[in-house]
Amino acid sequence: ADRVAANGDVANKIGTYKLSVVAKENGIPVYPVVPTSTIDLNIKTGKDIPIEERGAEEVATIGGVRIAPENVPVYNPAFDVTPQRYITGIITEEGICYPPYEISLKAAKEKAQKRIEENRKRKVGV
């Protein structure tokens, strides 16, 4: 994932949201795999995640040939946001986080930070 909000909403490449909805409707669990570095506890929900917009030419042209009418408005987000209600759990290098995500994601971040600090101390010999 590119960003995870404190409530467990996940921003990922386009298409993740629709796949998670279809999976949930068919009883298939969804587990995004994320490094703890992408968890941002200062972002409360997916609505607060800034979404990068890509250039209109990516969808308005093919091989340099324009396929869309000139001046047509184009919305080309780089990511979509999957609401946590469609997510079974979030896999991190510190284990699997389950709801309530506000608690489990915070614990994963703290565990990762502690591990990183311990590794730094070992490398420096402190």
pLDDT tens readout for residues 44-97: 999 999 999 999 999 999 999 999 999 999 999 999 999 999 999 999 999 999
Burial class (CB in 10 A: 0-12, 13-18, 19+), 76: middle
Total-model pTM: 0.87
Q: How far apart are CA 4 and CA 32, in angstroms?
A: 10
Q: Give the active site residues.
A: 2
The DSSP code sequence of 34-56 is --GGGEETT--SGGGS--PBPPT
pLDDT tens readout for residues 13-53: 889 999 999 999 999 999 999 999 999 999 999 999 999 99
CB of 11 within 8 A of CB of 1? yes
